Amino acid sequence: MSENKIYFKFDGKTYGGNQGDTIASALLRNEVKLVGRSFKYHRPRGIYTCGIEEPNALVQLINEHNEPNVRATVKKIYDGMVVKSQNRWPSLKRDLGSINNLLSPIFSAGFYYKTFMGPKGFWKNVYEPLIRRTAGLGKPPREFKSKSIHLHHNIDILIVGGGLAGLLAAKKLAGTDQDVLLVERDNNLGGILRNSNKIKSIDGQKSADWIEKTEWLLKSANNIKILKNTTVTTYNYKDHLIAIEDKTVGAQPDNNKPELVMHKIRTKHTVLANGHIERFLSFRNNDLPGVMLAASFEKYIHRYGVVADTSPVIFTNNSSTFSLLKTMVDMNHKPKAYVDVRDSKKIEKETLELINNYNIPFYPKSEIEGCEGKNQIEKVFIRTKKDKTLKIKTSMLCISGGLNPDIHLFTQSKGLVKWDEKILTFKPEKSFQNTITLGSVSGNFHFEKLVEEVNKKLGFIEGCNNVNTNIEVLGPKEFYIKEIWETKSLKKSLWSKSFIDLQNDVTTKDLRQAIREGFDRIEHLKRFTTNSMGTDQGKISSINALGIASKLLKKSVSEVGTTTYRPPYSPVSFSAIAGRSTYEFYDPVRKTPIHPWHEKQNAVFEDVGQWKRPWYFKKNENESMRDAVQRESKKVRESAGILDGSTLGKIEIKGRDALQFINLMYTNSFTKMKPMSGRYGLMLGEDGMVKDDGIVCKINDQHFIATTTTGGAASVLSHMEEYAQTEWPHMNVFMNSITEQFSTFNLSGPKSRIIIQRVFPSVDFSNEKFPYMTFKFLDYLDTQVRILRASFTGELGYEIYVPPKHALKLWERIFYSSRDIELVPYGTETMHLLRAEKGYIIVGQDTDGTVTPIDLNLNWMIGKNKNDFIGKRSLNRSDIIKSDRKQLVGLVPIDKSYGIEEGQHVIEQENLSTPIKKPVKMLGQVTSSYFSPTLNHSVAMALIKEGNRKIGSHLFVSTSNLNTIAVEVVKPNFIDPENVRLKS
C-alpha cells in the first residue's frame, strides 16, 4: 500500500492518503478530526458523514480555480492537492471568531432581521462589513475559465443510482431494446454493498464479486451506458433530468480537457434508485468533532478501510446500527457503549444477541444527554432508564436517528410524498411523471423484498425477464424505529448548544423561539431561522426539524408538511452551467465587412446588440471622445461624412398581397407611393405604442424592402411573421432577413453628391433625376448595388447597399474618389448628435414603449384614409387622446454656456433644497442631449407633460449635483427646419 501513497496538504501540513481516498477519509486515516469552523459561531467542526450530505467538512481547494465549499467527504485526493480549512482566523485551532459563540444570545433566530434595523447607516457601514468578515463560507475564485461542456441524451430509461436497487434494475433491462443510462455519483457501483456489511451474500457470492460480474454483464449488453462520478441534480418536467459528471476525480484538473460535463437527459421513464440518507439527532453539543453518523462511520471502514475510532459510543433509536455493531465486533473492536432509546423488549434479537455475546456495555431506554470536549469530543453523558446521568470518556460518538428515503429528486419531479408512521419518515406516495422508485428511496428497507419490487415495478417494460437474484441479509430483516428528535439537555452553559442545522448554525432553541414568535408554518419557520438553507439543504436534519416543530405545534408531522424541495439536489458549479458559453464564446461578436478599415482608422467601438460599431474615430491618440464627435459632426455639415450602417436591419417582403400587408404593418399609407421610392415608416404595437421605425422602399406593389433599427431587426421580422401566419394567413406574403446580404454606407453632407457621382459616373445624381426618397438599382461588377437617397442627418445624403464581398473595396473607392474633398468617417455618437440636431427620434432612446406617434407629433405619418393598421384603433382610446400626455419637445439652455444632462428631470421650480425634503413635481425627462458644434450650444429632446402647449415657455432641468438649469421649450428641430439641405 505505502508505495501507492498520495500526498496532499491540509492547512500547510502534508498528509499521506490512499488511492481512492476522499479528503475526509484521508484525514481520518491521519486521525485529523477538526476540519473547519462553523458559519455563525465559529465552533470547531469535524467530519459528520461520509458522502454528499455532509454539513460540516467543507474545505477550500487551492488550485487555479480556488474552489470554495468543497465537501471533504466527496472530493477525492490527488497527489499535490492543497486544501485549506474555511471560516477560521488566524488558525483552525485558535480562532478569534469563536467569540461569536459567547455572543450567541444576539445571534438567535431572526437576529439579522431584528437587530440591524437601525440606527440609519449602521447596516451599510458597520453591520454588513462585520458580518461579511465573520460569517460566510469559503472564498470564491477571482477568475474562472470554464472548462465544462454540455451533452444531451435522448433515452428510454434513466436509472439514478448504481447501488443494489439500481444494479438489479439495470440487470433486468440488460439485453432489451430499451436505451438505458445508469448514473452513479460515486466512482464505483455497488452502494450499500460496498458501504456496509448489511448483505451477507448475493447469489451466493461476496458482494464485491457480484458487483464486478454484474458490471461486466451490463457493459456487455449493448443497450446500457454507465456514467460514474455523475450526480443527478435536477428533475424537470417532462422527465428531463440534469446530471453533473466530474471528469477529474482523483486527479488535478487538466487544462485541455473538460472538467465537468453537464448531461441533459430526456427520458421516457425515470427509475429513482438513489437510496436513503441517515439522519442525526439533536442533543447538547451534537456538533463536536468526533460526533459522526453511524452508517457513515461504518462506510469509512468498508469503503476506505479507515477505522476512525476503535471504541466509539453508539447512540441509536433504530435497528440499522446492528451492522455497525457487527462490523466492530468482527474486527475485535468493542464499542464503549451501546445506547438505545428503545426498550430492550422492542430491540431486535440480533442486536441483543451481539451485545450479550460480546459483553458490550448496554443502555436500553436511555439517551445521550450531551457531550463535551474542547476541540473534539472528550466525554458523553448518558441519561439511563432510571434517569441517572452517567459520564463516559470517549473520542467518538456514532449516532443514528433513523433513515430518510432520499426523496429530493422525487419531490422535484412533483411526486407526492406521504408520512409513514412505521418508518417515521416521508416516502414517495404517487408519481406525477413517469417515475419509478426502487429500494430504500421508496421506503423499502427490506433487502430480501427488493428483487420482488424490481420485478413488479419494471414488469411492464417489454422484453425484460425476471431477475432471480438471491439476497442473504445479515442481521434484522425489518426496520424498527422509535420516535425521538431531541434529548433533554441538563447542563446549561453559554457554550452548550443543541443544533438542528449544523451548516447554518441553527439550534433547536432557535426553532422553539421562532414558533413562540408565531412562525408556525413550516415554510416561514425555515426562512426565519434559515434552517436547512445551507448548501447541504439540511439533508441529515430537515426531517428532524419537522419532527421538533410537530411536537411544539402539537400536530402530526404529516399535518406540518414538508418544505418544497427545489433543484439542484447538490450545489452545481457555475462552470458546469456556463459550459462553453464563456468569454469570447458567451455571445457571438458580429463585425461588418468594413471592420478592419475602422480598426486601422483608430475607431473606438460600441456594442450594439452583438454588433461592434464604430462609436467615434480618434484622429490622434490625444483626441478625446468629445473632440472627435464635435469634429466629425462639424465636418459632415460642412463637407461630407460616411457611416458604416451595415448593421441596420433589412427585411425583404414579397408576394401578391405585399402592399396590403405593409399597409397593415406600418402607420403610413403605401398605396399611392410610386415604385422605386422610399418612405419613413412607423411600426406600432397593437397597443398603439411605437415599436420600431425605418425606411420602407417600394420596388413595386409585390415587392418591398423595409429597414429596421439595428437592435429591432429580429423582433420586427418575427412581429411580421406572427401577423402573417396567425392573423392574416390568407395573404400571399413572404419575408426574409437580408441584413447580412447587404452592407450599407450612409454618405451624408453637402459634398456627398459630388463624391457619389465620381464613384458611380454612369448614374445621374441630379436633384431632378434622383430626388429625395427615391432609389435606384445599378449593375456593379458581378452583382448589384442599390442606392437610396435618404438621410438621417438632415443633410443631402445617400444610402449605398452593396453585397458584403465588394463592400470594403467600394468603401475604399469612395475615399479614393474624394481624396481632394474632405470626407470624414463618423461613428454612432456623431450620428446620434446629427439626428438630434434635426429632431429625429431614436426608438428606444426617445421612446420607451409608452409613447405613441401622436406624443411624438408624428401625426403626419398616420395614414388617415387607411381602414386599419396594427395599433390604429388604440390611437383612439380615451387614455391616448388625453391632451395632458407627455409630448416630445426640444430644450435649449437659456444661458448657452450650460449643458443639459440626458435622463434628468424637467421641472417647474428653480431651486431644489438639499437634501430634497418634499417631492418635486416632475414634468418629464430629457431623452437626448448633445452639444451642437454647428449652433455652438447644447440641444436636447425631452418628453414632458403637455409639451406642445409649453412651447416658448421657460422650465428647469435638474442636474446631477442637485442644481437646475433654466431652459426654453422649443420645437424639436434645431437645424434647417424647412428641409432645404435635405432636399437640395
Partner 1 sequence: MLLINCPYCGERDQSEFTNGGEAHVIRPKNPENVNDREWSEYVFIRANPKGIYYERWVHSHGCKKWFNAIRNTSTDEILKVYKMGESPPPIKGFKNTLKSPSGEPDVGSGNFAVKKT
For partner 1, the binding residues (CB under 8 A) are 236-238, 240, 266, 414-416, 430, 432, 521-523, 555, 558-564, 686-687, 718, 721-722, 725-727, 729, 867-868, 872-874, 876-878
Residues 892/939, Cβ–Cβ less than 8 Å? yes
Q: Give dist(CA 528, CA 311) in Å, integer.
A: 40
- Minimum separation from the CB atom of position 526 to partner 1 (A): 11
Q: How far is the CB of 489 from partner 1 (least distance, A)?
A: 30
- Cα end-to-end distance, the chain, whole Å: 93
Q: Based on CB atoms, which residue is closest to partner 1, 125 or 883?
A: 883
Q: Are 92 and 34 in contact (CB under 8 A)?
A: yes
Comparison of 537 and 791: residue with beta carbon closer to partner 1: 537
Q: Across-strand partners of 785?
A: 778
198-234 per-residue burial string, b: 16 or more CB within 10 A, e: under 16 = bbeebeeeebeebbeebbeebeeeebbebbbbbbbbb
Residues 6+ positions from 462 with CB-CB distance below 8 Å: 176, 177
Strand partners, 926: 942
Least Å distance, CB 868 to partner 1, is 6
> How many other CB atoms are there within 10 angstroms of residue 845's CB atom?
13
Nearer to partner 1, 738 or 916 (CB): 738
Q: State how far Cα 360 lies from the chain centre.
A: 53
The smaller minimum CB distance to partner 1, of residues 236 and 469, is found at 236
Q: Nearer Cβ to partner 1, position 419 or 616?
A: 419
**At its nearest, how many Å lie between partner 1 and the CB of residue 435?**
11
Letter for the amino acid at 664? L
- In the complex, the smallest distance separating the C-beta of residue 725 from partner 1, rounded to whole angstroms, is 4
Question: Which C-beta is closer to partner 1: that of 313 or that of 664?
Answer: 664
Asked if residues 925 and 943 have their Cβ atoms less than 8 Å apart, the reply is: yes
Between 2 and 867, CB nearer to partner 1: 867
Between residues 103 and 416, which has the closer beta carbon with respect to partner 1?
Answer: 416
- Cα–Cα distance between 716 and 11 in angstroms, integer? 59
Q: How far is the CB of 483 from partner 1 (least distance, A)?
A: 19
Nearest to partner 1 of 64, 727 (CB atom): 727
Cβ 412 to partner 1 shortest distance, Å: 11
Residue 82 pairs in a beta bridge with: 9
Question: Do the beta carbons of residue 461 and residue 173 sit within 8 Å?
Answer: yes
**Look-up of cell digits 445624381:** 765
> For residue 95, what is its C-alpha cell?
480562532
Specify whether the CB–CB gap between 690 and 851 falls below 8 A: yes
Give least dist CB 547 to partner 1, A. 14
Burial of 702 (0-12, 13-18, 19+ CB in 10 A): middle
User: Burial letters for 82-93: b for 16+ Cβ neighbours within 10 Å, e otherwise?
Assistant: ebbbbbbeeebe
Q: CB of residue 722 vs partner 1: minimum separation in angstroms?
A: 7
Alpha carbons 14 and 4: distance in angstroms, whole number: 16
DSSP per position, 379-422? EEEEE-TTS-EEEEE-S-EEEE--EEE--HHHHHTT-EEEEETT
DSSP 560-610: H-PPPP-S-SS---HHHHHTT-SGGGTS--B--TTHHHHHHTTEEEEEETT
Task: Say how far apart CA 970 and CA 485 lie, in whole Å.
Answer: 76
In angstroms, what is the minimal distance from the CB of 517 to partner 1? 18
Q: Which amino acid is at 715?
A: S
CA distances from 558 to 130, 275, 395, 685 (A): 41, 22, 37, 51
Q: Which is nearer to partner 1, 456 or 555 (CB)?
A: 555
CB atoms closer than 10 angstroms to residue 29: 19
Least distance to partner 1, CB of residue 873, Å: 4
Nearer to partner 1, 152 or 819 (CB): 152
Nearest to partner 1 of 517, 727 (CB atom): 727
Nearer to partner 1, 202 or 664 (CB): 664
The minimum distance between CB 216 and partner 1, in angstroms, equals 35
The alpha carbon of 119 is separated from its chain's Cα centroid by a whole number of angstroms, namely 35
Question: Parallel, antiparallel, or unpaired: how do β-strands 743-748 and 734-737 relate?
Answer: unpaired
Query: SS3 string of 445-501?
Result: CCHHHHHHHHHHHCCCCCCCCCCCCCEEECCCCCCCECCCCECCCCCCCCCCCEEEE
Q: Considering beta carbons, is residue 586 or 816 the nearer one to partner 1? A: 586
When the beta carbons of 413 and 904 are compared against partner 1, the nearer one is: 413
Select 251 or 416, whichever has its Cβ closest to partner 1: 416
Q: Minimal distance in Å, beta carbon 268 to partner 1?
A: 10
Q: How far is residue 766's CA from residue 127's CA, in Å, rounded to a whole number?
A: 74
Give the nearest distance from C-beta 716 to partner 1 in angstroms: 14
Q: How far is the CB of 53 from partner 1 (least distance, A)?
A: 23
Nearest approach, Cβ of residue 240 and partner 1 (Å): 5
- Dist CA 606 CA 591 (whole Å): 11
Query: Shortest approach of partner 1 to residue 428 CB, angstroms?
Result: 11
For the bound state, the minimum distance from the C-beta of residue 731 to partner 1, rounded and expressed in Å, comes to 13
Which of 424/642 has CB closer to partner 1?
424
**Buried/exposed 269-283: b ≥16 CB within 10 Å, e otherwise:** bbbbbbbbbbbbbbb
HEC sequence for 310-373: CCCEEEECEHHHHHHHHHHHHCCCCCCEEEECCCHHHCCHHHHHHHHHHCCCEECCCEEEEEEC
Residue 827 C-alpha from the chain's centroid: 36
> Alpha carbon of 433 to those of 209, 270, 563, 641, 967: distances in Å?
35, 8, 20, 64, 65
Residue with smaller CB distance to partner 1, 516 or 555: 555
